[in-house]
Amino acid sequence: MKTLVILISGRGSNMQALLDAKLPVDRIIVISSNPAAVGLETAANNRVQTVCINHQTFSDRSAFDTALADEIDRYQPDLIALAGFMRILTDDFVLHYHQRLMNIHPSLLPAFPGLHTHRRALRDGVKIHGCTVHFVTRELDHGPIVIQAAVPVFSDDTEESLAKRVLEQEHQIYPQAVRWFLQGRVRLSANAVTIADSRVHNSVIYSPGLQE
């Protein structure tokens, strides 16, 4: 039985993309750090099991991460996918799920780690922006890269218009990365990821190419 745990804190649009993708998984559990997260209702409407562990009820990050790990370990997941999970995880938590913890970030890493990526991309005048799926490591937004998608930056772009264009690609590549992982096609060596039998998709710039 393959199990996927999805961690959210808000509306969960990437979570919805994962649910819509009909992934090769037997069980999905959505866990939120925020009891008011809209994504909890969305998951419930999709008949997906939900759990809330309210981070505000814990004294520090370590205590919250311990409780979160205890809950996750009940399900023995093959993969934990961060989907708008707005918590910085402790080193112990990250190491506990080594090579089983994946994240989607709205920039072409290693460019623009952290917050406000679209604002910073516009400020710096980049011509190509995008998103990255990567494994989570102790260094924030610097884990091994699974797949990236690039979009053009137009002269009249606003932070909102650029974010929308990038988000459309997030919803494409995150399910693809998770699918590859669940199919056993992801190979991780040191800081390099290779995908078995990937190919180039010619309509948008993806690396590696998209393939079901």
Active site positions, annotated: 105
- What element of type H or E holds 79? strand 79-82
Name beta bridge partners: 147.
133
Rounded CA separation 147/58 (Å)? 34
Q: How far is CA 64 from CA 24, 53, 165, 203, in A?
A: 30, 8, 34, 43
Instruction: Report the distance separating Cα 53 and Cα 149, nearest Å.
Output: 32
